[in-house]
Structure 1
Amino acid sequence: MQASWRKALLYSSALCTGIGPLLYYLIQKGLTRAEYYQMALEQLHGHREALEALGSPLRVHCMPILSKDHLVDIADARLKIPVSGPKAEGCLLTRSTRSAPFQRWNLQEVILELKDGQQIPVFTHSEEGK
């Protein structure tokens, strides 16, 4: 009886140890596939001044999931995406909204904030087209 209890404890410990990193990976993957995340990175890749400030090749790093800098709910998404290049590093501050669940996200603002404090506006939503 004692041996089976130890085996169960060992297996459950191993399972719990493996679930944490797996869950973290799946949440990261889900965030990077989200429409609001992809739209912000597209804007960065198309912005000459921001790319020159960072240098090439551009690296996009994992976001700390439990950071207070992130907010994603039904209608709003705010992210702080760590980025770097050979010249500089910083964060891409993004803000997106949508009018209702299951609607398309609308990118509102993307700002590259470098570690030295410099901010480069990458994208700002214009109301003129409406």
Structure 2
Amino acid sequence: MFQVKKSFIRAAVVAAGLLALGACDTAYPVTVIGQDGTTFRGAATNTFLHGGSFQATNGNATCTGTYDKFADITTVSFPVICNNGLRGIGTAFFQSETAGSGFVTMSDGSKWQFLFGRGALAI
């Protein structure tokens, strides 16, 4: 009987720890403007242990990506993959944990700019 209780308590502690880490995820808005003026809107999420991810759409195409970010790094590079066949490499400059800007150079040669955080809502 003691073994069952001990295993149950251990499992409960692990589950509580995972829930606490999940609560550390932070989501914020993203606005991307293509070279031709096309606007993509979406969101990014920083995760406590893994960096983050983003998704943005203009209603026709959706672009996504993931990135690794560590506490002492303010600039990150990341791949961008769109469902319309375009791919790119982006660079983000973090002004805070949830705000900043950057650019993406796409496979067709176009350059896109983006803003993330509260400022993205104003565009």
TM-score by length of 1: 0.44
Higher relative contact order (CA 8 A, sep 6+): 2
**Which protein shows a greater Rg?**
1
Return the structure number with greater strand share: 2
